[in-house]
Amino acid sequence: MQEKFISILGPCSAESVEQVMQTADGIAKNNLKVTYFRAGIWKPRTRPGSFEGVGEKAFPWLQEVKDKYNWQTIVEVASKEQVEKALKAEMDALWIGARTSANPFSMQEIADVLKGVDIPVWIKNPINPDLELWIGAMERIAVASKGLIGLIHRGFSAFRPQTFRNPPTWEIPIEMKQRYPDLPRLLDPSHIAGERSLIPQLLQIGVDLGYKGWMVEVHPNPQNAWSDAKQQLKPEDFATVLENIEWKFKDTEVLEEDEALKKLRASLLDMDKQLLDLLAQRMQISQDIGKFKKNHQITILQTERAKETLKKWLSWASENGFSENFIKKLYEVIHLESIGKQGRKLYE
């Protein structure tokens, strides 16, 4: 089933010709699909002193992979000079890293040198959870280059990452898909996870959400990788991940014909309408309470009451199998809108 997806595979960093070839051999031996073979040769590191990549001497190593397996090659570029070198070395595609897409100056510089060039460019989301910044990075390349443009979702940095190194914040790529339905989106579960055992569950979500494929870091000996050692997978382990995926790849249009699905969709819409009508009635009552508060000089925000109400919601929610997180978010938006109806707009 991997054949139906775009697959970018390869090590986080090119370390030596042996390591690059060993990775490629492992990928081939495990029959993994490769749309592009990746390897970072200039590594943007958060802290100085970490391995910063071997640089352009890795181009011939990638060329060797291409000669042996006929796979296209892709490298990360972060500056005008790096783009020029990658084009000269005849790389087949480029990707823009998360630290670069966050910087409009860098993006403009890269866009300028790609003017009129026909090469695919895959743009990772910026490290900060800012949809407009991602769109801006994409637009700069789109107006300049003549090649295919795609998006890679690699998660967003967090002050204190918990389960994931870069929490996925799915609502951002979902909104991106709604705004630009024709741009192909890939998932980079390696950089979201930061930890290889979390990759399968993320990839499954990607497939469920209709991503067109993935960028996954594979390395023959991940524990000893010079960068991102915790998140890389052996090729054979990635093959196992793929074996366990529950595949979904049909466009909804194909299923639109299905009568049973049509009925289910219609009843969803019906319920949505009922939900909104009920919500409107709730807001009306809020407004009446607002008048009462005003007449009696009572402040609008009653935190104790809000806390009590939320507690009730949470207890009903657990009976209904909802997650605490979902209920808290839902309560928060409804409560803020309610306060708005009482004369203080806090939520737009």
Of the residues 8, 12, 14, 216, which one makes contact with ligand PEP according to CB under 6 A: 12
x/- string (CB under 5 A) for Mn ion, residues 212-231?
A: ----------------x---
- Per the CB < 8 A criterion, the answer to whether 240 and 32 are in contact is no
Among 6-14, 56-64, 120-128, 268-276, the segment contacting Mn ion (CB under 5 A)? 6-14
The interface partner of residue 97, options being Mn ion, ligand PEP, none and the CB cut-off 5 to 8 Å by kind, is ligand PEP
User: Min. distance of Cβ 161 from Mn ion in angstroms?
Assistant: 15
Q: Which residue is nearest to ligand PEP, using beta carbons? A: 97
Interface residues for ligand PEP in 171-210 (CB under 6 A)? 191
The interface partner of residue 124, options being ligand PEP, Mn ion, none and the CB cut-off 5 to 8 Å by kind, is ligand PEP
Q: CA 233 from chain center: how many Å?
A: 19
- Per the CB < 8 A criterion, the answer to whether 286 and 302 are in contact is no
Residue 15 makes contact with Mn ion by CB under 5 A: no
- Per the CB < 8 A criterion, the answer to whether 120 and 146 are in contact is no
Beta bridge partners of residue 57, listed in sequence order: none
The interface partner of residue 213, options being Mn ion, ligand PEP, none and the CB cut-off 5 to 8 Å by kind, is none
Residue 97 makes contact with ligand PEP by CB under 6 A: yes
Report how many residues bind ligand PEP under the rule CB under 6 A: 8
Residue 154 makes contact with ligand PEP by CB under 6 A: yes
Question: Nearer Cβ to ligand PEP, position 157 or 286?
Answer: 157
- C-alpha distances in Å from residue 189, one per residue of 195, 212, 215, 343: 9, 13, 7, 44
187: three-class secondary structure by DSSP: strand
- Per the CB < 8 A criterion, the answer to whether 191 and 158 are in contact is no
- Per the CB < 8 A criterion, the answer to whether 145 and 153 are in contact is no
Which amino acid is residue 249, in one-letter code? F
Closest by CA to 129, choosing from 173, 165, 180, is: 173
Binding site residues, Mn ion, CB under 5 A: 12, 228
